[in-house]
Amino acid sequence: MARISESTVRRLSHYYRVLEEVHAEGKAMISSHRLAEREGVTSAQVRKDLSYFGSFGRRGLGYKVEHLRKELRSILGLDQRWRVALVGAGHIGSALLAYRGFAAQGFDVVAIYDRDPARIGQKIGGLVVQDAAAIPGAAALAIDIGVIATPLKAAQEVADALVAAGVRGILNFAPRKLFVPAGVTLRTVDMTMELESLSFALHQTRARRRRAGAAG
């Protein structure tokens, strides 16, 4: 199989969501045009993205919704279960644990770690919060994915400990760049950066308006 770029995977993820919606509406077929439209790309792009994985559509007829949905589900690995360790049981961590989509997508949290003595020993979602010092013990739990929801300062150290315990995927919520060895997949949800990028854009607009006002 050809090496698939991260942006291709992101589009597949979007196509999958469109297919879920269309499937729920009871539609049997979807055109590459309709898939493309929702994602803001060309239909040629849709056909190219899907062609990596086989031949799904029929010219002029489009794609069978249920078939393509199942295929994408399998391609994205969503029909498998993944064992997750959550590090950091604060606001973000708790929201994740309460997020039903997490389990629905195949992610089972099997261990929770925190460094705060006030949280260690507490029970959240049926799991007892363990001391973060015990992360090396996660090796015995066959964890696939580590979710880092710690403060910025602890994040790299936690990532290192998770990788040493055999974790092969990391979802990082801490607002900093993490370094992981080759063979470990890192994905980042950096809300702080998105907020700053938003405030930058609004600030530029505000400043432009002021200058226009001063000139007018």
Tell the smallest beta-carbon distance from residue 165 to its own copies (Å): 15
| Shortest distance (Å) from residue 207 CB to its own copies | 9
- Cα separation, 29 vs 98, in Å, equals 35
Least Å from the CB of residue 188 to its own copies: 7
With 0-12 / 13-18 / 19 or more C-beta atoms within 10 angstroms meaning exposed / middle / buried, residue 198 is exposed
Q: Does 25 bind its own copies (CB under 8 A)?
A: no
Distance (Å, whole) CA 202 – CA 190:
19
Q: How far is the CB of 101 from its own copies (least distance, A)?
A: 6
- Distances, alpha carbon 111 to alpha carbons 99, 140, 156, 195, in Å: 16, 11, 19, 30
User: Letter for the amino acid at 128?
Assistant: V
The footprint of its own copies (CB under 8 A) covers 1, 4, 6, 9-10, 12-14, 16-17, 21, 38-40, 75-78, 80, 82, 91-92, 94-95, 98-99, 101-102, 105-107, 144-145, 152-153, 168-169, 171, 175-177, 179, 183, 185, 187-189, 191-206
